[in-house]
């Protein structure tokens, strides 16, 4: 009954069109002050202590790094390198888009940033090269979702904060699934391009490839700086985020010189705005999680699901269905911060590894980024290519189906996620 009241309040507020962050906080305040005797001081204390986590500092730093890279010409150089390597194959520019998104994902940690950085350059270029507008839109919109699976990942940071899981182990666990999904999306791109006879680019010489790699080396090397530093113990994931922000600033302003020093305040302001929005959501979601814990809802839900006799297979299937539906109406940060504290205890009781569970949740969030009506990647692609939301959604369908197949693989083959962190001794 308590759970029905809480979630009823939340959905009633959301139905009014209220932003999710405000709806979460208002639900907590209405319930606590209307139906309990919790003092207001406890709420204020939870607001501050909930967000006073060292790991959360990684989020604004990764956002800042992604913005410096987006404005600093790194994406252009990565696209040139990817095109030089695979442009001569069937659907070469589409394949270059997939691999450019994978490379940019490995330094940005954000799906929308990846779609903006790669899509704004490559989508118009693909149309000029003779590709149908729908093809380029489908490729970049879905491949951009790699931004939250290939580490570093802001969504993984939020899952780690919600469940007290190792961020470093999660980052390492995302590498192999991220590469497999990139290859799967590339396979769909190649097959459709071959079937419909889409254009191919002239084959680049090895000298041209070497030149393109040399130009992109500063951006690509950031991948090894961040991941190598975390694995070697040189710095924590939060320190790695700060390092990547400083490194990206130096590349954009002093190495590539595509970003003027006078433009830096504008980039800082954009990053601060996005960080403030995310941190506000996190604060209210932590408060909502406190309310659920106060009323013992996760424990009650865990006992109820176990009493139903759900084994790991059916439980994981149910989680996937719930998260895909939630992804249609909420953005990833809110879903992770609300659902993870509810579902995590049940997963642990059923013997699901926390790292495997985190990667599965992240893949679900990827699918949510490309499903209407709230999928942010769809809106970004729609704006770049001037297409309607329905047109973009239809264009993405072949790749979305591949992502659903991949979700099933990740869900029921834990070794795909756990092999690399296990080899590195991080489990």
Concatenated DSSP letters of 334-361: HHHHHHHHHHHHHHHHTT--HHHHHHHH
Of the candidates 62, 64, 32, the one whose C-alpha atom is nearest the C-alpha of residue 45 is 32
Least confident among 35-39, 121-125, 350-354, 405-409: 35-39
- Taking the C-alpha atoms of residue 396 and residue 178, their distance in angstroms, rounded to an integer, is 19
Instruction: Give the residue, 10 or 249, on which the prediction is more confident.
Output: 249
What pLDDT is stored for residue 404 in this prediction? Answer: 94
Residue 373 has pLDDT above 90, yes or no: no
Burial 317-328 (b: 16+ CB within 10 A, else e): eebbeebbebbe
Give the highest mean pLDDT range of 258-262, 390-394, 410-414: 410-414
Residue 396 has pLDDT above 90, yes or no: yes
Close Cβ partners of 365 (under 8 Å, ≥ 6 residues apart) = 148, 155, 323, 327, 332, 335, 336
- Taking the C-alpha atoms of residue 320 and residue 178, their distance in angstroms, rounded to an integer, is 18
Of the candidates 344, 363, 355, the one whose C-alpha atom is nearest the C-alpha of residue 162 is 344
Close Cβ partners of 61 (under 8 Å, ≥ 6 residues apart) = 238, 241, 242, 244, 245
User: What is the tens place of the pLDDT at every residue in 279-292?
Assistant: 887 788 778 877 87
Instruction: Please measure the distance between the N-terminal and C-terminal CA atoms of the chain and give it in whole angstroms.
Output: 38
User: What is the tens place of the pLDDT at every residue in 6-35?
Assistant: 888 888 888 888 877 788 888 888 888 888
324: helix, strand or coil:
helix
User: What is the tens place of the pLDDT at every residue in 114-148?
Assistant: 888 888 888 888 888 888 999 999 999 999 989 88
- Taking the C-alpha atoms of residue 229 and residue 152, their distance in angstroms, rounded to an integer, is 12
Instruction: Give the residue, 380 or 352, on which the prediction is more confident.
Output: 352
Give the whole-number percent of the chain exceeding pLDDT 90.
Answer: 25
> In degrees rounded to 5, what are phi and psi of residue 352?
-80, 135
What pLDDT is stored for residue 269 in this prediction? Answer: 92
What are the tokens at 373?
A: 């009506």
Q: What's the farthest any 2 CA atoms get from each other in the chain?
A: 73
What pLDDT is stored for residue 357 in this prediction? Answer: 95
What are the tokens at 48?
A: 């501050």
- Taking the C-alpha atoms of residue 210 and residue 13, their distance in angstroms, rounded to an integer, is 56
Residue with tokens 């659903």: 404
Residue with tokens 């839109």: 137
368: helix, strand or coil:
helix
Instruction: Give the residue, 3 or 264, on which the prediction is more confident.
Output: 264
Across the chain, what does the average pLDDT equal?
Answer: 86
Of the candidates 133, 101, 129, 134, the one whose C-alpha atom is nearest the C-alpha of residue 200 is 129
User: For 24-47, what is the mean pLDDT?
Assistant: 80
What pLDDT is stored for residue 407 in this prediction? Answer: 95
- Taking the C-alpha atoms of residue 115 and residue 14, their distance in angstroms, rounded to an integer, is 27
In eight-state DSSP terms, residue 387 is -
- Taking the C-alpha atoms of residue 360 and residue 416, their distance in angstroms, rounded to an integer, is 11
Look at the alpha carbons of 88, 92, 95, 101 in this order and tell me if their dihedral is positive or negative.
Answer: positive
- Taking the C-alpha atoms of residue 177 and residue 168, their distance in angstroms, rounded to an integer, is 15
Report if pTM > 0.75: yes
CB of 418 within 8 A of CB of 356? Answer: yes
User: For 95-115, what is the mean pLDDT?
Assistant: 86
What pLDDT is stored for residue 322 in this prediction? Answer: 87
Residue 406 has pLDDT above 90, yes or no: yes
Residue 262 has pLDDT above 80, yes or no: yes
User: What is the tens place of the pLDDT at every residue in 325-336?
Assistant: 888 777 787 788
> In degrees rounded to 5, what are phi and psi of residue 151?
-70, 155
């Amino acid at each position: 009954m308590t759970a029905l009241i809480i979630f009823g309040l939340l959905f009633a507020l959301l139905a009014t069109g209220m932003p999710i962050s405000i709806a979460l906080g208002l639900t907590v305040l209405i319930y606590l002050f209307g139906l309990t005797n919790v003092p207001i001081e406890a709420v204020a204390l939870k607001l501050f202590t909930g967000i006073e986590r060292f790991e959360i500092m990684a989020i604004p730093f990764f956002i800042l790094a992604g913005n410096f890279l987006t404005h600093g010409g790194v994406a252009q150089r990565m696209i040139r390198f990817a095109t030089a390597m695979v442009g001569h194959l069937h659907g070469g520019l589409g394949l270059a888009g997939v691999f450019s998104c994978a490379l940019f994902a490995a330094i940005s940690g954000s799906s929308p940033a990846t779609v903006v950085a790669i899509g704004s350059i490559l989508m118009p270029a693909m149309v000029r090269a003779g590709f149908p507008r729908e093809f380029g839109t489908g490729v970049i919109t879905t491949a951009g979702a790699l931004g939250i699976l290939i580490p570093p990942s802001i969504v993984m940071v939020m899952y780690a904060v919600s469940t007290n899981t190792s961020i470093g182990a999660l980052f390492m666990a995302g590498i192999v699934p991220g590469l497999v999904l990139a290859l799967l999306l590339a396979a769909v791109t190649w097959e459709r391009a071959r079937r419909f006879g889409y254009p191919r680019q002239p084959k680049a010489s090895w000298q041209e490839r070497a030149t393109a790699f040399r130009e992109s080396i500063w951006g690509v090397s950031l991948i090894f700086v961040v991941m190598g530093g975390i694995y070697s113990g040189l710095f924590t994931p939060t320190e790695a985020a700060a390092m990547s922000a400083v490194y990206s600033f130096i590349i954009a302003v002093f190495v590539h010189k595509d970003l003027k020093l006078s433009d830096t305040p504008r980039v800082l302001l954009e990053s601060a705005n996005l960080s403030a929005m995310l941190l506000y959501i996190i604060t209210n979601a932590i408060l909502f999680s406190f309310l659920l814990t106060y009323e013992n809802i996760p424990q009650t839900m865990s006992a109820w699901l176990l009493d139903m006799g759900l084994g790991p297979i059916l439980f994981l299937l149910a989680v996937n269905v719930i998260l895909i539906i939630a992804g249609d109406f909420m953005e990833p940060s809110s879903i992770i911060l609300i659902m993870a504290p509810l579902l995590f205890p049940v997963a642990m009781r059923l013997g699901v590894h926390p790292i495997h569970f985190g990667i599965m949740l992240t893949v679900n969030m990827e699918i949510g980024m490309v499903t209407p009506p709230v999928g942010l990647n769809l809106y970004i692609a729609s704006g770049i290519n001037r297409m309607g939301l329905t047109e973009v959604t239809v264009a993405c369908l072949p790749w979305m189906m591949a992502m659903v197949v991949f979700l099933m693989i990740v869900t029921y083959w834990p070794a795909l996620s756990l092999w690399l962190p296990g080899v590195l001794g991080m489990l």
